[in-house]
Amino acid sequence: MRQQRLGWLGPAIVAVGAAVAAAGVWYMVHVRPVAGRVIDTIAVDAEHELVVRAEDGGNGDRAFVELRDGGRVAWQAIVPRYAGRPGAPGIAWSPTAVSVRVIRDHRAELFALAMHDASKLGGMRLAPQHGEVIEDAPGPVTLTDHLRTFELVAGADWHQVVAIDLTSGKALWSSELGAAPVTAGGVTGAVIWVDQGAAGKRCFDVRTGAAAAAAPCGT
């Protein structure tokens, strides 16, 4: 995998109101605490997978992320509480970067690791203009086309989708989705779609966030 440090936390983040997470201590495998049970597993290719583990004996405030290469742990890092779950992963990846959706102080954040060694690339708070998030909201958490990550953030009476470029780390666009919960979503070609049940389905161009035609969105 190509070794490259990326420009996460570029100036475009400010344009959509995302804020850099001010604190956030990152650790590598050689420091305690110890990884415990598996929370989630995301296949990268035939030989590699990203595994999220709980902290052994912890209170749930931290999680481990590791890259496994043919069953061998290539690297391991610790992050705040993982926001994803099986069936609704909170991880997106490209050949150079891994983004991890986390919860800290009841707010949604995104942490970024270099794919080749888990070194810190940066991080940002999502939906900083809103209040606390719903940590167990239904529907997807992270969608990706492996060029961009699309983060679905949910509050008591609001929902938002934020698109971030996985190469540059720049926030590309965001859209307010209103009060209706997002029950499903996906990426189909150049379109990201979200289903909000009775409120209907909404579709966006992956590059610009412009509204896209409902058909064939989500098919």
Residue 110 CA to residue 5 CA, distance in Å, equals 17
Predicted confidence (pLDDT) at residue 22 exceeds the cutoff of 80: no
Residue 91 CA to residue 100 CA, distance in Å, equals 5
Q: What is the DSSP letter of 19?
A: B
At 133, the amino acid letter reads V
pLDDT classification of 29: cutoffs 50, 70, 90: very low
CATH of 12-205, one of 3.40.1450.10, 2.40.128.630, 3.40.50.620, 3.30.390.30: 2.40.128.630
Is the bond into 216 cis (omega within 30 degrees of 0)?
yes
Domain ranges of the chain: 12-205
pTM of the model: 0.85
Predicted confidence (pLDDT) at residue 6 exceeds the cutoff of 90: no
Q: What percent of the chain stands above pLDDT 70?
A: 83
Predicted confidence (pLDDT) at residue 85 exceeds the cutoff of 90: yes
